[in-house]
A and B are shown apart, each in its own frame.
Chain A
Amino acid sequence: MLSAELATGLTELDALLRQEDWLTADAVTLEIMLNGVQRQEVGWLERPAIAQFPCELLHQIDQRWLFYSSHRFGFSTQLKIYREEVDRSAFAFSAQAGWTLPLSRPFRFFKFYDRLTFSLDAPRGHLPALWFWEMPWPQSLLVGGWGTGRGAGFGDPGLFDALMLRLERCQHL
């Protein structure tokens, strides 16, 4: 059973997605996810937390994104691309989902978060994205960013794979 706080968050997410306020919905999604693994203080997700992320909550979030975007957005859509279209390559996925700058090859720098597309015109699997972007500045520096999240960094295939793996495992339940 989900806590009341999480239920409220999901209701809010529902409303935002219905209004197609994709930007705020993405932010609320990260909030709910941090709340789900008690990392509100930390403010970002890392692999161990993702590996133990509650399947039920992941499913609830995923279903809402899928429903309101007609399967354009959502973790399941991301996993489908990751597994079936890019041979489980996080970099290839990032390129296909429009997360990296198109001209940056071979380095594939990630876009700054505010340059992402928050509409149904975005490529499939484009959202949710903030869970992947949000990180503290030392981590940002570590992945080649400018201390402002994932933007301009080289990416972190491990983190993306962790969520995809988590979703895969949860799907076996």
Chain B
Amino acid sequence: MESLEPATVVLQIVDVTLTDDDRDRIVQKFWDDLMQLEITPRATITALPQTEPAVARWGLEVHLAEPDQMVTWVKDMSERLDVTPAEIRLTCTIDRLRVQTQTDSPEQLLAMIPALRAILPAPQLLQARAQLYAQRGGEITPVERANLELLRHDLEFSPEAMEAIIQKALGPYGDRQAKLDKYREVLSAEIERQPIPLDNTTHLELRRLYQVLGLSQADVEPINQEYIARIKAEATHLQEQEKAARAQQETQRQAEVTQQQVVVRQEYAELYRQEYAAAIAHTPYPTDFDRGRLKQACADWQLDPEVVRAIEREVTDQQYGPIDSAMQLKYHRLRDLLWKTQWEAADQETERLILSAVSRDMQPIDAGTLAKFHCVDLQTLEALWSRYSRGRFGFIAQHRIFVQQAVQGGDFLAAIGWKSALSIGGVDVLTLRKAYRDLQFTLEAPIGHLPTWRWGATTLEGEYALDEGVVERIFHDVIEKCWPKLRSQRVTEVREGVMDAER
């Protein structure tokens, strides 16, 4: 910016007719009036002392920072002169140019204005004013432009030249918005360039930037806030992402821990399985010692009671035979009795199971009712009986004898030992059905001897055994229904037997 020389205006009261006091009063009046002028704050006024006692030259010296204000000044003093007549000498100096007039006529004082304008440095004035405006708000407002226009007119300056001055004053960024945009752009670039927060040097440079652009702290604050908010939002977003990532990691870790726990539990469950299997290897009833040990293991390994029960059930089933039921029947007691080889009690228990499942009021049943006994349960009975008798007892053993006798034309009831025969010379002359008490509840009994069919008996005395018709129905309708393979075996064997007999 080009510096502007201040203007100096010297006002002197030169009226010789006035007394010293009057001059003093008039100077004082000018002083007061000048002090009231709006432009005064930008001027410095000093009272001129009487330098030469012979010639009274009372007056004021005024320094104006804005030389063009001389014109306003002169107009003002012309009015003052109109009110307070006095001969004055006014000397206006700019740089090295001087205009002087001595008069007591307000009109003559006004007449010096064109001369004053002639010495005013027009480009500098306009430039100074334009720069002042541009500095104030970053742009030239309409009212500012109007004032500039008036000033130009006063100074008789060309519009094109003034436009050039305004453009220069505004700098490369024409209006306020462009400056704000520039500031925003620079700020944005700085934020992109370096980590947040911005360092002190950058802050200082940014301040210099907006000052040079003619913007104030208040102007750029919204932009700063905008960026701070954006940065905060980004930071929050990053934090959230990080948090989410941490949460995911935590979840994964938990899952791994859980997985590990599952593995550990499975290992303990496996150990318990082995322990329990060892404890019941020779007896379904673990010793008190083993029982205590197993209980302790459950507690130590924190095994779920449900899991423990399932394991014990599974291991027991493995070692002592499964006891599945489709009719909610409990075969534990039967299994125990068979394991203890208490054949008679086991036989009674078998009857109890069958009757409680299919009989009404525990009445004895016939083959038709027995057919309602579920195959799963019939197979469980068969499996338990044959398991503990090594295939000697059970429905399949009985079926085998039944087929054998059918082929040989023998008596099934006699073959399985439910009838006693009195034979002479190898020929049965008399067969009697045995009472239940006369049956053989040992492993030495004939194949198929047990389980008995007491579930069909009204009494276990005398007429215990059933007639042949019932026998056939039991095998055809019940046993072979649950083991279809037995039917085809029987049909084949009987046919071959007949053919053998014919041959």
Contact = CB atoms under 8 A, between A and B. Distances in A.
A51 interface: yes
A88 B460 CA distance: 10
Interface stretch (B101-109, B283-291, B360-368, B417-425): B360-368
Interface stretch (A111-119, A127-135, A146-154, A159-167): A159-167
Nearest to B458: A51
Given A88-B437, A172-B356, A158 B462 contact: yes
Contacts of B356: 172-173
Interface string A41-54: 00000011011101
A121 B461 CA distance: 30
A158 B361 contact: no
Nearest to B362: A169
A157 interface: yes
B352 interface: yes
Interface string B337-358: 0000000000000011001100
A90 B461 contact: yes
A159 to B, nearest CB: 7
A51 B363 contact: yes
B458 A55 contact: no
Contacts of B463: 158
Contacts of A159: 459
Contact of A172 (B352, B457, B459): B352
Nearest to B364: A51
B342 to A, nearest CB: 15
A89 B458 CA distance: 16
Contacts of B461: 90, 157-158, 160-162
A173 B461 CA distance: 23
A39 B320 CA distance: 48
Nearest to B355: A169
B459 A170 contact: no
B355 A165 contact: no
A52 B145 CA distance: 126
A169 B355 CA distance: 9
Interface string B350-392: 0110011000011110000000000000000000000000000
A162 B362 contact: no
Nearest to B349: A172
Contacts of B355: 169, 172
Nearest to A50: B458
Given A170-B362, A172-B355, A157 B462 contact: yes
Interface residue tally on B, bucketed by range? 10 to 19
A17 B457 CA distance: 33
Contacts of A157: 461-462
- Which of A88, A90, A159, A169 is most buried by chain B, counting CB atoms within 10 A of its CB? A169
Contacts of A173: 356, 361-362
A162 B457 CA distance: 9
Contacts of A169: 351-352, 355, 362-363
Contact of A165 (B361, B459, B462): B459
Given A88-B437, A172-B352, A172-B355, A165 B460 contact: yes
B361 A54 contact: yes
User: By CB atoms of chain A within 10 A, which of B355, B356, B361, B461 has the most?
Assistant: B461
Contacts of B437: 87-89
Given A55-B362, A88-B437, A172-B362, A162 B352 contact: no
A169 B361 CA distance: 9
Interface string A8-47: 0000000000000000000000000000000000000001
Q: From A88, A170, A172, name the one whose CB has the most chain B CB atoms within 10 angstroms.
A: A172
Nearest to A160: B461
Interface string B436-472: 0100000000000000000001111111000000000
A55 B361 contact: yes
Nearest to B361: A55
A158 B363 contact: no
A140 to B, nearest CB: 18
Q: Which of B356, B458, B459, B461 has the most CB of A within 10 A?
A: B459
Contacts of B363: 51-52, 169
Nearest to B351: A169
B140 to A, nearest CB: 114
Contacts of A50: 458
Contacts of A160: 461
Contact of B459 (A47, A54, A55): A47
Nearest to B353: A172
A157 B352 CA distance: 22
Interface in B452-502: 457-463
Nearest to B352: A172
Given A88-B460, A169-B362, 9 more contacts: A50-B458, A89-B437, A90-B461, A157-B461, A158-B459, A158-B463, A161-B460, A170-B362, A173-B362
13 contacts: A48-B458, A50-B458, A51-B459, A52-B361, A88-B437, A157-B462, A158-B459, A158-B462, A158-B463, A160-B461, A162-B459, A165-B457, A165-B460
Give the top 6 A-B pairs by smallest Cβ distance, nearest first.
Answer: A51-B458, A162-B459, A169-B362, A161-B461, A158-B461, A47-B458
Interface of A: 47-48, 50-52, 54-55, 87-90, 157-162, 165, 169-170, 172-173
